[in-house]
Amino acid sequence: MDTASPAVTVALHDGDPAAPALAASHQVDARRHGELLLPAVDRVLAGAGRELGELTGVVVGVGPGPYTGLRVGLVTAEVLGMTLGIPVYGVCTLDGIAYAAGRTGLGGAGGIEGPFAVATDARRKEVYWARYEDARARVTEPAVDRPADVAEQVAGLPAAGAGAELYPEVFPDARPPAHPHAAALAALAAERLAAGGAGLLPPRPLYLRRPDAQVPAAYKSVTPR
């Protein structure tokens, strides 16, 4: 599952990296992550004819992403893991988009050819972004910047993600997908598990900046007389 973008995306996977997801749900609604996620989990399990108790692990996108949406997926994943007594694995959301781009053929029908970038919408006229050597190999740490500030670093590169679509002057060669897809996230995690777990992260949020909500500077405490 991933809620680090406007998409609420859930998939059920059997753990074989080469196999497609058993069932998936993908809804884009930036304001309803909390309302949509658990019904999507139920719908995906029902679509595959499985029960919640059959799960052997949970994969969750850890961002970067906006504070409110991101924590919905992380908290849900943690609760499922604790309730069912199963492991919870974190995956960078940008890595999931990169992997999906490779599987859908960012560089052609055979997949990605050469380096590329992933950029998602960070709001405030900024993007969350990273560079990739290929669909599996990230070469920079995830960062949040104004598009103009990264123009030299991504010049000439195709780019996946909604951030690339928003700023064509910096990312003139924008490609799909715009948002993460849980089926790709699960397949990437399955690959990493099969390789010994390298690249998997703790299920902790990758915010990159402070949340928008702040305690007012002129806040006055009220005490009883």
List pLDDT tens digits, range 18-44. Answer: 889 999 999 999 999 999 999 999 999
- Beta bridge partners, 129, equal 119, 143
Distance CA 171, CA 82 (A): 41
Residues 57/86, Cβ–Cβ less than 8 Å: yes
Residue 17's Cβ-side half-sphere holds a number of Cα atoms within 13 Å equal to: 12
What integer is the mean pLDDT of 204-219? Answer: 67
Q: What is the pLDDT of residue 106?
A: 43
Q: What is the pLDDT of residue 109?
A: 46
Of 59-68, 176-185, 202-211, the least confident:
202-211
Q: What is the pLDDT of residue 114?
A: 74
Q: Which of the residue ranges 15-19, 83-87, 106-110, 206-210 has the most confident prediction, judged by mean pLDDT?
A: 83-87
- The DSSP-derived string for 148-214 is GGGHHHHTT--EESHHHHH-TTT-SSEES-SS--HHHHHHHHHHHHHTTSTT-B-S----SS--S--
**pLDDT for 107 beyond 50:** no
Q: Which residues does 79 contact at the CB level (< 8 Å), separation at least 6?
A: none
* CA dihedral sign of residues 181, 185, 190, 195: positive
Distance CA 62, CA 95 (A): 10
